[in-house]
Copies of this chain bind each other. A is one copy, B any other.
Amino acid sequence: MPNIGIVGAGVAGLHLGLFLRKHDIPVTIHTERVVAELADGPLPNAVVHHAPTLDRERRLDVGFWPVEEYGYSCHHYYVGGPQPMFFSGDLDRWSSAVDYRLYLPRLAEAFENRGGRVELGVLGAEDVDRLGARYDLVVVAAGRGAFASLFPRRDELSPYRAPQRRLCVGLYHGITPATPNGLAFNISPQHGELVEMPIYSRHGHVTGLLFENVPGGDLEVLSDLSYRDDPTAFHRTVLDRLARHYPRTFERVDPARFGLTDPRDLLQGTVTPAVRQDYARLSDGTFALAVGDAHAVLDPLLGQGANIASHSAWVAGEAIVEDVGFDELFCRRVAARRSDVVLGAAHWTNLMLAPPEEHLLGFIAAMAEHKAVADAFTNNVGHPDRQWRILATPDRTRAFLAHHDRLRAATAVTA
């Protein structure tokens, strides 16, 4: 029976820990602070879990927030500009968002109840190196760059050297949910995007607003404003920018009730996307496998980061259970198996952050025109490998749309 050490108690670390405990494998999670303390802290992010992640949660017996109650069934798309487009796409299988300050402590509790060990302590790259002596495999599932020296950045997969958006993420009262209840993905060309999501927090069902602001654009101010210095000015500016850039969300705002659910429920910052090496050999010969943020940091625009972290944890868990060695052969197998999904998510996100390419604009126009195309795009949010196969090149997008044209023609004939 191998003994596995995990660094990091985020979604990747906890999903992997729970997976291993389900197979009675000894596992210790090393984390810098008591996960339960997250509950009272500041908003760490605003994360959507797609159907494959929710499947994994059910199989790990941590499906505490069933989609029927906590989830949503569709995406509403709005693309601004001289001729705004508004359309929607349905999810065959629902998604949901639960505040990680509720989510992670509940999973950490389940992990410990099921025999998982948690060790507290501040960890740097040199500490990870020392962990090699204690475990058959060290899985690094934390970091956002802290373990950069361990897992060098892969330049060929990391086109950006700087953040492409400045973020302003908050939880709000006073926004009536869209009908049907869904995630609203809004684009304000040249200025940024707004992802509006139904999210469950300690205040119940509220609204998450993830403003993705292009540096230098009209929305960037949202990432600079201090809520604590002047809450009124903050709310006024958010409403002003909603009205100007995101009218489909603004029209559902009740100004009398509108406001952050709590001063702590706001996060402003930036992310520089990067894909790093899959694994490293520690000084004593033990291997360290990167999952989650240690492996791939994505801009949150498309809600992929947590889902690919969970996917990566699951792939690693399966590989651990079926293997007898945790060497380079093992690490390469994990890398090969997860690459489709992880790199698909990274490439797709990077494409959507860039000034829009012709074929992407054509695809969005096709979504607006044909519900089946919008549905396909919407469902592929849970399958970034499939999404990337459609959007990777103009030829691929053309072939996909031609396929849909033929399907429609065939349906018209038989109807």
Chain A interface residues (CB < 8 Å from chain B): 322-325, 327, 329, 333, 336-337, 339-340, 386, 388-390, 392-393, 395-396, 399-400, 403
Contact = CB atoms under 8 A, between A and B. Distances in A.
A-B pairs, top 9 by smallest CB distance, nearest first, are: A325-B396, A324-B399, A336-B336, A324-B400, A324-B396, A329-B392, A323-B389, A336-B339, A325-B395
A347 to B, nearest CB: 9
Most B C-beta atoms less than 10 A away, residue of A329, A386, A395? A329
Nearest to A2: B399
A358 B324 CA distance: 18
A336 B337 CA distance: 7
A359 to B, nearest CB: 12
Protomer copies: 2
Contact of A392 (B325, B386, B400): B325
Contact of A399 (B325, B336, B392): B325
Nearest to A329: B392
A382 to B, nearest CB: 15
Most B C-beta atoms less than 10 A away, residue of A322, A323, A403? A323
Contacts of A323: 389
A329 B157 CA distance: 13
Contacts of A388: 329
Contacts of A324: 389-390, 396, 399-400, 403
Nearest to A325: B396
A99 to B, nearest CB: 35
A390 B322 CA distance: 11
Nearest to A390: B324
Contacts of A389: 322-325, 329
A324 B392 CA distance: 10
Contacts of A396: 324-325, 327
Contact of A395 (B327, B339, B340, B390): B327
A392 B332 CA distance: 13
A395 B322 CA distance: 16
Given A325-B396, A327-B392, A336-B337, 5 more contacts: A323-B389, A324-B400, A325-B392, A329-B389, A333-B340
28 contacts: A322-B386, A322-B389, A323-B389, A324-B389, A324-B390, A324-B396, A324-B399, A324-B400, A324-B403, A325-B389, A325-B392, A325-B393, A325-B395, A325-B396, A325-B399, A327-B392, A327-B393, A327-B395, A327-B396, A329-B388, A329-B389, A329-B392, A333-B340, A336-B336, A336-B337, A336-B339, A336-B340, A337-B340
A140 to B, nearest CB: 22
Contacts of A392: 325, 327, 329
Nearest to A397: B324
A24 to B, nearest CB: 13
A337 B327 CA distance: 20
Contacts of A337: 336, 340
A256 to B, nearest CB: 49
A69 to B, nearest CB: 33
Contacts of A340: 333, 336-337
Nearest to A400: B324
Nearest to A388: B329
A362 to B, nearest CB: 14
Nearest to A402: B324
A158 B249 CA distance: 60
A336 B342 CA distance: 13
Most B C-beta atoms less than 10 A away, residue of A325, A336, A339, A340? A325
A399 B136 CA distance: 11
A399 B1 CA distance: 9
Contacts of A386: 322
Most B C-beta atoms less than 10 A away, residue of A324, A336, A337, A403? A324
Contacts of A327: 392-393, 395-396
Contacts of A325: 389, 392-393, 395-396, 399
